[in-house]
Amino acid sequence: MSNKKSIAVLPGTYDPITLGHMDIIERGAELYDELVVAVSENPAKRPLIPIDERLELIGLLTRDKPNIRAEMFTGMTVDFAKRIGAKVILRGIRTFADFEYEFQLALANRRLGGVETVFIMSSAERSFIRSTLIKEAVALGGDMSLFVPPPVQEALRRNLEKRGRISVRSFVGLDGEETPSMGKDGSGLRGEGIE
């Protein structure tokens, strides 16, 4: 039996981090000695919350769990996982559409870097929460306290106000493309496939 520490990576943009994310993070941390919440930096996506603030929020929300840490990365998730000694990429699955996309991505990641992917099913009460929906609702003045922790809701409002984007015209609306296909902006190889 090996004394080597088991490390898993849970990649995403976390813009913003939601209660759905927190559910997966907390459950994932129970399975591994160390869980690295890997926050992807992709300036092309023009995130609402700056990456340093997203890292701080994750640190604040997980401060009572010593085996969880947040770290920024660029490039492919498999490269980041290998660099930190992780053998597993952990992914949350909400729907069958998520599974179809994530299954293709898991095969690619295994082929590219020899890193396995482990899926955790979202809790039923959190399975509909999507970052895009949260940002749109906050921009329209909605109360998102049932979907994001209080510090995250405050960060969303503050960053939207900085951009002058709290209005009905802030977002055109959801386009139905909640799960991107391979090759689009925010490719899942960067850890951004499912928000």
Write the CB contacts of 121 (distance below 8 Å, at least 6 apart in sequence): 92, 93
Q: Is 94 a catalytic residue?
A: yes
Query: Is-catalytic flag, 127?
Result: no
- Among residues 40, 54, 91, 94, the one annotated as catalytic is 94
For 57-87, what is each residue's pLDDT tens digit? Answer: 999 999 999 999 999 999 999 999 999 999 9
State the pLDDT at residue 129. 67
Active site residue 21: yes
State CA 149 to chain mean position distance: 15
Predicted local distance difference test score (pLDDT) of residue 187: 47
Is residue 156 within 8 Å of residue 49, measured between CB atoms? yes
Which residues of the chain have a pLDDT value below 50?
A: 167-187, 194-195
CATH of region 7-127: 3.40.50.620
**CA 191, CA 195: separation in Å to the nearest integer?**
9
Is the pTM higher than 0.75? The answer reads yes
Q: Identify the active-site residue in 45, 69, 157, 165.
A: 45
- Structural domain boundaries in the chain: 7-127
